[in-house]
């Protein structure tokens, strides 16, 4: 994976890709609904009653979901060469995806999640409709490997705070994450 700056500008709703020439490849990473589905499953699988407290926690859980090699290293299993689900960049608070704001707004506008800020952190919670849709995705065989991995991530890190996860990532993956310039793609080949 290149360490060049990541813009994320190509991501858009699937219906907006209809005008693309058929010969051009369409990457799942460029499809808004791909990211929205993953975050719905994350909230259902890794949240408490479909709720995650804090954007940092959501992003760090998502990091371990999207980068299974990094998760395996933290679990003491070593690197296995698993594919990266979708690239993230180094941000001020560790791995981040600038598209989160776009995806979360997409989910909130469709009444699939509720966003609140009762204190300092932002809480993300599945709505009744969001839970129903996430459960439907959970039953899809094509999501089974992702859901199984999410359950492992939740078992290992679900009880930790976002700051604890951020610190763990920085301490374990300094060269790959914290030493990388801000805005550069995080790779798993490190």
Q: Are 96 and 88 in contact (CB under 8 A)?
A: yes
How far, in Å, CA of 128 to CA of 78, rounded? Answer: 39
The tens place of each residue's pLDDT in the chain, 190 residues long, gives 333 334 444 555 555 545 655 666 555 566 688 899 999 999 999 999 999 999 999 999 999 998 888 898 899 876 665 555 566 655 555 677 888 888 999 999 999 999 999 988 899 999 999 999 999 999 999 999 999 999 999 999 999 999 999 999 888 887 677 666 666 677 644 4
Look at the alpha carbons of 55, 6, 146, 114 in this order and tell me if their dihedral is positive or negative: positive
Look at the alpha carbons of 103, 97, 131, 138 in this order and tell me if their dihedral is positive or negative: positive
Q: Which residues of 30-39 are buried (b: 16+ CB within 10 A; e: fewer)?
A: bbbebbbbbb
| Residues in the chain, total | 190
Note the pTM of the prediction, 2 decimals: 0.80
């Amino acid at each position: 994976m290149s360490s060049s700056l990541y813009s994320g500008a190509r991501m858009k709703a699937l219906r907006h890709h209809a005008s693309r020439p058929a010969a051009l490849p369409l990457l799942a990473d460029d499809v808004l609904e791909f990211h929205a589905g993953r975050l719905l499953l994350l909230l259902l699988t890794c949240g408490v009653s479909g709720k995650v407290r804090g954007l940092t926690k959501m992003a760090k859980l998502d990091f371990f979901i999207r980068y299974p090699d990094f998760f395996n290293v933290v679990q003491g299993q070593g690197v296995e060469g698993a594919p990266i689900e979708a690239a993230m960049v180094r941000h001020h608070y560790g791995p981040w995806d600038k598209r989160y704001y776009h995806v979360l707004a997409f989910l909130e506008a469709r009444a699939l999640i509720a966003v609140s800020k009762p204190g300092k952190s932002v809480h993300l919670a599945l709505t009744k409709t969001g839970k129903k849709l996430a459960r439907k995705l959970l039953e899809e065989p094509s999501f089974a490997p992702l859901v199984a991995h999410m359950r492992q991530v939740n078992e290992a890190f679900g009880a930790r705070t976002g700051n604890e996860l951020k610190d763990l990532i920085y301490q374990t993956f300094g060269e790959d994450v914290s030493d990388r310039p801000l805005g550069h793609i995080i790779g798993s080949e490190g």
